[in-house]
Structure 1
């Protein structure tokens, strides 16, 4: 079983490969997706990491609040996206 983790407060220069390397220290990473602004294509400073359940718990404990790329990461289990009205 895998877990989807939210990773926030990323530096805009952080790459998916850098995030993958940091999380692979704790378990098998299935996917990494850094979110970009739809209009500008610039990074938005957060993303998602999908990885094995045990590794996910270890990664949250080890990386949440830790310095990464000059910023303190926010790492937790992601929550389902809430439906928002389209304007």
Structure 2
């Protein structure tokens, strides 16, 4: 592996982003050159399959200056002809702490016969439901 600068592995630094949807032929060199246009990079990796060694289509970039992340996220990025998806990384442990909280959950695959009240009552066992909505298809009215 060699020595790496940065804190890859202990969660995330404020300057770290996730890049998904990478073309399989994207090299680390191309990856770093592309994102290096935005600012100084302290760490970079394209994740590979443990067994085959082939790229898994996603990686991480860590910038020295965390404010660069806002600029990168605001733009659309196409690398090797493929649009990639960019997200902030969430530091390990923050999901349990108050740094990162959401009160909203998404529930998919709800059977059509389930009513809004049945859904609300099911989740009410876990805490107070303040808002719920079943999204329905405009034409078929199915959930």
Name the TM-score, length of structure 2 as normaliser: 0.51
User: 2:61: which partner in 1?
Assistant: 49
Corresponding residue SS for 1:26 = coil
Corresponding residue SS for 2:75 = helix
* Shift of residue 2, structure 1, vs aligned partner: 4.6
Asked whether 1:21 is paired with 2:72, we answer: no
Residues 53-87 of structure 1: per-residue CA shift (max 9 Å, x gap): 11121111124xx32212111011123469xxxxx
More helix by share: 1
Residues 20-42 of structure 1: per-residue CA shift (max 9 Å, x gap): 11111111111110000011111
User: 2:16: which partner in 1?
Assistant: 4
Asked whether 1:35 is paired with 2:47, we answer: yes
- Total equivalences in the alignment: 80
